[in-house]
């Protein structure tokens, strides 16, 4: 168990800067998930922590020890690869014990530690098999077991569940959460799947284009996204975004106008907005009220997705803007129907044109109001 500290970390491939001047501190025993779209640098970052990728600038400390230029094997980290990377010519036992056999651990102790890990993962009966004779889920367990056996200071996971089918993925997700509770080890996990991020993480690090967009507890990331990218990346179905124009500010209330919207004013913090400046208004599909009696946004239903536990209605406003509404349970509607959508100003997120969050006054903060 150890903390991981990244200080001014950068990565360049020739002229191209993939990660620039990144700072992050991960506490002992924390489960941190790096999430972001493909190409955001999350895997590169993980591989830099592992030592598989050179660091172009900055410092990397594990457990307070400077490891920036240290060989991967000497950093006290173990990694679970997306492809599992099991040695095809070795039995499960030899796969899991490979690191111990290299560092000269006596055979008896090696066997004990391998079997202990196998017991945790319930794969004791598979230890004599070769990887080719294992199912995807079993291979996944062996890959995790190989990491456990080494008793590392930090576990690194690189999209470990992406090769599994949906059912197995859910199962392994819970298994990993349980493993973290049991071992209490520091874990860093890379994924592009926001469900994995939300369910597993103590803290989520949202990355885009090599920069940290936001770091925080999953519910904070969801409830108080720092910028438009985080707001639209986390949450499914995706947050609706409307282009609005700033009007007058009166008594701390900023008037916003949009052709399809009824008059709307939000309580904002900070300096007043220049009139006429373009802004982005974000509202999550489940924060829109479906079918209010009067007022609201007039929309026509385009199509309806019934998930059983919830219904997602895809609507179009008069000006041709698409809005998604998520409604718990079932709802009685059909394409072509007209409805009014209710918009609660307390549950709206406001962003500047460049995507920065325009902070709201505390009493009207959407996260608090729920």
Partner 1 sequence: MRRRKTRHTLILHGVLIASALLTVFPLGLIALMAFKTNPEIFANPLALPGAWRWQQIGKAWTDGHFGPYYLNSLQVAVPTVLMVVIASTLAAYGLVFGRLPGARYALAAILLGLIVPLQAIIVSLFHDLGDMGLLNSLWGLSLAQAAVGLPFGIFMMRSFFLGIPKDLIEAARLDGAGDVTVLRRVVLPLATAPALTLATLQFMYSWNDFLLPLIILHDPSLRTVTLGLFYLQGGTYTLNYTMISAGVLITAVPIMVVFFLLQRQFIAGVTAGAVK
Partner 2 sequence: MTERLDQQSASAARRRGGGRPLGTAIRYLIFLGPAALLYVPFVLKPLIETFGLSLFAWNGVSAERTFVGLANYARALGDPIFWISLRNNLYWVVTSIVLPMATGLVIAVLLSAVRRGQRIYAGIFFTPVVLNLIIVGLVWGIIYNPLIGPLNRLLRAVGLGSLAIGWLGDRYAATPAIMVAGAWTFFGFCAVIFLQGLRTLDREQIEAATIDGAGPFRRFRKIIVPALSDQVTLLIVMSIIGSFKVFDIVYVMTKGGPDHASEVIATYMYWQSFMNGSLGYGAALAVMLTAVVAGASLAMMALRERD
> Using CB under 8 A as the criterion, which residues of the chain lie in contact with partner 1 when the complex forms?
50-52, 71-73, 77-79, 81-89, 98-99, 102-103, 146, 150
Identify the residue among 73, 107, 174, 219 touching partner 2 (CB under 8 A): 73
Q: How far is the CB of 149 from partner 2 (least distance, A)?
A: 16
Q: How far is the CB of 90 from partner 1 (least distance, A)?
A: 8
When the beta carbons of 112 and 243 are compared against partner 2, the nearer one is: 112
When the beta carbons of 50 and 265 are compared against partner 2, the nearer one is: 50
Identify the residue among 8, 37, 89, 101 touching partner 2 (CB under 8 A): 101
The residue assigned the tokens 């006290």 is 76
How would you class 278 by CB atoms within 10 Å of its CB: exposed for 0-12, middle for 13-18, buried for 19 or more? exposed
- Select the binding partner of residue 106 from partner 1, partner 2, none (C-beta < 5 to 8 A, by kind): partner 2
When the beta carbons of 102 and 274 are compared against partner 2, the nearer one is: 102
Beta-strand runs (E) in the chain: 4-13, 16-26, 31-35, 57-62, 65-66, 77-80, 154-158, 186-191, 203-208, 211-216, 240-250, 253-257, 264-267, 278-283, 288-290, 297-306, 310-317, 322-328, 338-343, 349-352
- Select the binding partner of residue 366 from partner 2, partner 1, none (C-beta < 5 to 8 A, by kind): none
Q: How far is the CB of 154 from partner 1 (least distance, A)?
A: 11
Measured distance CA(85)–CA(79) in Å, rounded: 10
Q: How far is the CB of 102 from partner 2 (least distance, A)?
A: 5
Phi, psi of 9 (to 5 degrees): -70, 135
Stretch that binds partner 2, among 97-105, 124-132, 211-219, 286-294 (CB under 8 A): 97-105
To which H or E segment does residue 109 belong?
helix 107-120
When the beta carbons of 145 and 247 are compared against partner 1, the nearer one is: 145
Q: Is the peptide bond before 363 cis (omega within 30 degrees of 0)?
A: no
> Considering only residues 102-121, where is the footprint of partner 2 by CB under 8 A?
102-104, 106
């Amino acid at each position: 168990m150890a903390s991981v500290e990244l200080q001014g970390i950068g990565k360049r491939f020739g002229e191209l800067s993939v990660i620039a001047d990144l700072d992050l501190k991960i506490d002992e025993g924390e489960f941190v998930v790096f999430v972001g779209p493909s190409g955001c640098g999350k895997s590169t970052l993980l591989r830099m922590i592992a030592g598989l990728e050179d660091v172009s600038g900055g410092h990397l400390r594990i457990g307070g020890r400077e490891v920036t230029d240290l060989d991967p094997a000497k950093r006290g980290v173990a990694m679970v690869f997306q492809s599992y990377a099991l040695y095809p010519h070795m039995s499960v036992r030899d796969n899991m014990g490979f690191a111990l056999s290299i560092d000269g651990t006596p055979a008896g102790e090696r066997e004990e530690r391998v079997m202990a890990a196998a017991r945790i993962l319930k794969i004791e009966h598979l230890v004599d098999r070769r990887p080719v004779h294992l199912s995807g889920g079993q291979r996944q367990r062996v890959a995790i077991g190989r990491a456990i056996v080494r008793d590392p200071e930090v576990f690194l996971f690189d999209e470990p569940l992406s090769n599994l089918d949906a059912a197995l993925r859910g199962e392994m997700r819970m298994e990993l959460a349980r493993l973290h509770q049991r071992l209490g080890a520091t874990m860093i996990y890379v994924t592009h799947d926001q469900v994995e991020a939300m369910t597993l993480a103590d803290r989520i690090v949202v990355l885009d284009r090599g920069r940290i967009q936001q770091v925080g507890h999953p519910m904070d990331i969801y409830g108080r996204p720092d910028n438009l990218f985080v707001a639209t990346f986390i949450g499914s179905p995706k947050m609706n975004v409307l282009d609005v124009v700033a009007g007058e500010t009166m008594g701390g209330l900023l008037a916003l106008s949009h052709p399809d919207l009824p008059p709307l004013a939000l309580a904002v913090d900070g300096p007043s907005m220049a009139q006429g400046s373009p802004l982005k208004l974000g509202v999550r599909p489940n924060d829109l009220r479906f079918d209010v009696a009067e007022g609201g946004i007039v929309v026509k239903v385009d199509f309806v997705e019934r998930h059983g536990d919830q219904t997602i209605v895809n609507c179009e406003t008069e000006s041709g803007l698409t809005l998604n509404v998520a409604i718990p349970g079932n709802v009685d509607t059909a394409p072509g129907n007209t409805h009014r959508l209710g918009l609660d100003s307390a549950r709206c997120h406001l962003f500047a044109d460049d995507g920065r969050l325009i902070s709201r006054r505390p009493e009207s903060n959407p996260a608090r109001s729920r």
